Amino acid sequence: MPERDEWWRNAACYEVYLRSFADSDGDGLGDLPGLRSRLPYLHDLGIDAIWITPFYPSPQVDHGYDVADYRDVDRRFGTLADFDGLLEEAHELGLRVIIDLVPNHTSAQHAHFRAALATGSGSAERQRYHFRPGAGRAGIRPPNNWRSAFGGPAWTRVTGAEGQPAEWYLHLHHPGQPDLNWANPAVGAEFESILRFWLDRGVDGLRIDVAMSLAKDPGFPDLRRGDDQHPYHNRPEVHSIYRRWRTVLDSYPGDRMMIAEAVAPEASELARYVSAGECHQVFNFAWLETRWSAAEFGRVIKGTLESVRAVDASPTWVLASHDAVRTVSRYSAPSRAGEAVGLERARAALLVMLSLPGSAYVFQGEELGLPQVDVPPAARRDPRWFQSGGSMPGRDGSRVPIPWTTGAPSYGFSPAGSSPPWLPQPASWGELSVATQERNPASTLAFYRKALQLRRTRLAGLDDGVVILPSAPGTLVLARDTGFVCALNCGSRPARPPAGELILSSTDWPDSLLPPNSAAWFQLSAPPRPNRGRPAEGHVEPKGGSKAGAHPESQTGRC
Ligand code: GLC
């Protein structure tokens, strides 16, 4: 039987996009000492763990996701000693620390890639990466039609010793991020040693970047729509890598965990990453792609719970990240509703997310209700903007540095007299700052604190069953085993709330009905009993059935 009380199973995790969180030394970039100084803030927010985006030495072509040395800290972000101090203080405050590991590619400045360039075709150094001859006469065309995620071909041609055009190398992202050849055992051995380096220092978890792409089809076929097996996504070989890593993690004391960043067309494919002996969790991005709709939310929740339960894993929930448009703006845009409505919806969605079993991943600034910023083109820094020739706006708008205080120039992000923040902050940032919101008990920050605190007290220890109760169109009503209920109204009219004690609401109620664009938590006096005549819309049981004596009729609900 798997342990049920591992910390990560039901954790609230906070993503720290390091370069935009807090700058201690005035260079306009967030850093580890800056983050350390804000740990008390994160502790008071009520989260259980932080995930820190890459801080390794890097040319920063993809803001740290291009690693030049996996065993050090970029001087712009601090030192190894700063990392150790941060980890120690986080642990003293009861916070777990997840670091970001980037195994699909290195930086082009990594010593191994530089050695590969310095040697010729077929060398052991080149075997660590994917070097191939080009297609066509004299190899002038890329070896196949694979495209970079940032735009343009996924191949770049190198020059030979005499300066003549020579082989091509693969990069599924920026040309400064050459893909590693995971079919070469030397690559696996190197990463096991990197894992141990950080596990020895005491990290609690690893977030595995682009986890689904490490294995490539050795034939390097063209990508064709409708092929049964993608040449570089979710290939069976990738799973043996995580099985090996799992044995490494399991050899350490404490609940060390890894969470995979993967996307797949089918939830069952994603569930393979969390099947026995592999990763502990996999990010579930389904919600990020879902419009504001009670029916769609219900489908995502039900589908997610069923797929992870089939492999006895714990689910994860994500409403925002450094790669996505911020929730407030996502929920405003489609209906052309203003940002005020977007904020109401974002707060409501948070209550739904926090009412569910599993881990909730919150992105920095979500707790301030920050919107997506329209960064002026001249100030954009995302490689996606440049590599796509401006056809993709890029992700800068969700990465603008956090406002801590009301005053410009940097709203407390950097100390006074510093260089400007690496991305410009809008004039409205001061009103959204931590300092402003701390003075207002009705602020989004106060609401997040309350919700996270109540999640701990009310939901800890519940079994992981969820019942989706019958409810009016446009609404979603979820219940947990003790009669804890979350009701969401995505409709355009006020809705009748469940008859229970109101615990927390995402918005004020002008009358006794639950307003549109809002959600609330209730405590019923007894667990809900879906009516035999009117079966629940959906009902997902905990593995092994419901707790003895709890809502036996709910077995009639459809799964
Ligand atoms: C992941 C990161 C993203 C990065 C990419 C390439 O998707 O979240 O920010 O650009 O990997 O490493």
What are the tens digits of pLDDT across the range 124-167? Answer: 999 999 999 999 999 999 999 999 999 999 999 999 988 899 99
Q: What is the pLDDT of residues 455-472, one digit of tens each?
A: 999 998 888 999 999 999
Across the beta sheet with 281-282, the strand order is 281-282, 257-260, 205-208, 96-101, 49-52, 12-16, 359-363, 316-318
Indicate the top mutation candidate among 210, 283, 386 to test ligand 1's pocket, ranked by most ligand atoms within 8 A of CB: 210
Tell me the two tokens of residue 413: 């992000």
pTM: 0.94
Is the separation of the CB atoms in 284 and 13 below 8 Å?
A: no
Distance from C-alpha of 272 to C-alpha of 230, rounded to nearest angstrom: 16
Cα of 41 from ligand 1 centre, angstroms: 27
Ligand 1 atom with the smallest distance to the CA of 174 is 6
* Closest CA to ligand 1's atom 4: 65
- Residue 117 has what pLDDT? 97
Q: Look at residue 478 and tell me whether its pLDDT is greater than 60.
A: yes
Name which of 22, 17, 15, 45 is nearest 412 in CA terms. 22
- Residue 334 has what pLDDT? 58
Ligand 1 atom with the smallest distance to the CA of 384 is 10
Ligand 1 atom with the smallest distance to the CA of 150 is 10
Structure-derived torsion over alpha carbons of residues 138, 143, 148, 151, reported in degrees to the nearest 10? 40
Tell me the two tokens of residue 354: 């926090």
User: Which residues does a 6 A CB cutoff place in the pocket of ligand 1?
Assistant: 62, 65, 102, 173, 209-210, 261, 322-323
Q: Which residues contact 362 (CB under 8 A, 6 or more apart)?
A: 12, 13, 14, 15, 47, 319, 320, 448
* Closest CA to ligand 1's atom 7: 210
- Residue 336 has what pLDDT? 56
* Closest CA to ligand 1's atom 12: 65
Q: Look at residue 539 and tell me whether its pLDDT is greater than 50.
A: no
- Residue 337 has what pLDDT? 60
Ligand 1 atom with the smallest distance to the CA of 62 is 10
Domains and CATH numbers, the chain: 7-106+185-218+230-450 (3.20.20.80), 111-170 (3.90.400.10), 462-542 (2.60.40.1180)
Ligand 1 atom with the smallest distance to the CA of 321 is 8
Cα of 372 from ligand 1 centre, angstroms: 18
Name which of 18, 60, 55, 17 is nearest 176 in CA terms. 60
Tell me the two tokens of residue 319: 């409403």
Residue 450, helix vs strand vs coil: helix
Is the separation of the CB atoms in 320 and 366 below 8 Å?
A: yes
Q: Look at residue 537 and tell me whether its pLDDT is greater than 50.
A: no
Is the separation of the CB atoms in 196 and 173 below 8 Å?
A: no
* Closest CA to ligand 1's atom 9: 323
Q: Look at residue 235 and tell me whether its pLDDT is greater than 50.
A: yes
Cα of 75 from ligand 1 centre, angstroms: 21
Q: What is the pLDDT of residues 322-381, one digit of tens each?
A: 999 999 999 996 555 678 999 999 999 999 999 999 999 999 999 999 999 999 999 999
- Residue 529 has what pLDDT? 67
- Residue 408 has what pLDDT? 84
Q: What is the pLDDT of residues 49-62, one digit of tens each?
A: 999 999 999 999 99
Known catalytic residues? 209, 261
Q: What is the pLDDT of residues 483-524, one digit of tens each?
A: 999 999 999 999 999 999 999 999 998 889 999 999 999 999
Indicate the top mutation candidate among 15, 60, 65 to test ligand 1's pocket, ranked by most ligand atoms within 8 A of CB: 65
Name which of 134, 111, 237, 247 is nearest 182 in CA terms. 237
* Closest CA to ligand 1's atom 6: 65
- Residue 321 has what pLDDT? 98
* Closest CA to ligand 1's atom 2: 209
